[in-house]
Structure 1
């Protein structure tokens, strides 16, 4: 199978909201529900993802030759994905809260006309109230995801997996799945880091423009500033 086929599966999720953004605006409020594809992909692709996760597991993965074996690992992958995703979202919103408290970067906007004239986003950031609400929700979701994962791992592995030869223990299975999910969320992590950087850039742009207009420059001075 081509590598780009695996790459597409492990990095693309589905969302209950349209996630495309214009190049000019970043929606900081977007808290879409990112859903993994681990239950939908074919057995062939899922097994290839597992083989690619760690060195030396190909013999084990090739013994995953029944739906019962594959489905158990698929379910575990979905739980790991959910936990990692909520942790990532919590980290992002915690950053918004911390930078708001430290640098007073909260929700701000200017007119779209002024934003277009100065080549910047017309709005950025989130209100403190919204950030606190999101953090509260994410902390609850994190507890739920952690509990679901713990409950899944408490019973021993199903007999169909524990009696495989070569054997598959829970530690090895967890390592494989964790590697698969981590790779699958790579682009999502990049997007979160990008949003953090854009927030700082937007804040700087707004403050500089506001500072200039507070000086009440004339039209000639404004034209000169835009040409810099």
Structure 2
């Protein structure tokens, strides 16, 4: 997979000719994967936080019967302090993973000097990045979907609330449904 992620990827295959080299690249790839994953989570929770701040609504959880009755989604519904806490935790994980990856990059710059055949550390890092991005394409799409649904659910909830604020009668409610 790594060799297919960049042009002239066969140079990487030739370079990774020992278990030690393979293990190092696997660890670096796993750390890169974690970095992108934590970033996706951070973005999602940041969107949730921003939406809560913008609308000043927290924990907009509604009953399952309401969701079914109005054909809406059952959104996450967390209190502000929970969102802030989760965002803080993910940001710490993200920063810790950045530091870990920086250590791997420094270590790779030292290691590849002695590798035969030689491969430039930037080429190796680029191949790892491209491989992880490609592997996480579906995950990114899933997170994008969640972010869109979060905004749409909030909009639906606001429209339903405004409708009921108008004090409709039963006939109007049935017509609206």
TM range (shorter): 0.7 to 0.9
Counterpart residue number, 1:198: 149
Judging changes above 3 Å, is the alpha-carbon distance between structure 1 residues 52 and 105 closer, same or farther for their aligned structure 2 residues?
farther
What is the CA distance between 1:126 and its match in structure 2?
Answer: 2.7
Judging changes above 3 Å, is the alpha-carbon distance between structure 1 residues 183 and 111 closer, same or farther for their aligned structure 2 residues?
same
What is the CA distance between 1:123 and its match in structure 2?
Answer: 4.1
**Contact 2:15 2:119 survives alignment (8 Å):** no
Judging changes above 3 Å, is the alpha-carbon distance between structure 1 residues 170 and 59 closer, same or farther for their aligned structure 2 residues?
closer
1:176 to 127, 131, 146: 127
Deviates more, 1:68-77 or 1:214-223: 214-223
Judging changes above 3 Å, is the alpha-carbon distance between structure 1 residues 105 and 53 closer, same or farther for their aligned structure 2 residues?
farther
Q: Runs (4+) of structure 1 moved beyond 6 Å?
A: none
What is the CA distance between 1:76 and its match in structure 2?
Answer: 0.8
Asked if 1:209 is matched to 2:144, the reply is no
- Note the residue ranges of structure 1 that are not aligned, 5 or more in a row: 1-48
**Greater relative contact order, per chain length (Cα 8 Å cut-off, separation 6+):** 2
What TM-score, normalized by structure 1, do the two folds share? Answer: 0.70
Counterpart residue number, 2:93: 141
What is the CA distance between 1:182 and its match in structure 2?
Answer: 1.0
Secondary structure (helix, strand or coil) at the match of 1:52 reads helix
What TM-score, normalized by structure 2, do the two folds share? Answer: 0.88
What is the CA distance between 1:121 and its match in structure 2?
Answer: 2.2
Mapped to 2, the partners of 1:224 and 1:176 lie a distance apart of 57
Question: RMSD of aligned C-alpha atoms?
Answer: 2.0
What is the CA distance between 1:153 and its match in structure 2?
Answer: 2.7
Counterpart residue number, 2:111: 158
Judging changes above 3 Å, is the alpha-carbon distance between structure 1 residues 137 and 124 closer, same or farther for their aligned structure 2 residues?
closer
- The structure where helix makes up a greater share of residues is 2
Q: Report the count of equivalent residues.
A: 176
Counterpart residue number, 1:5: none
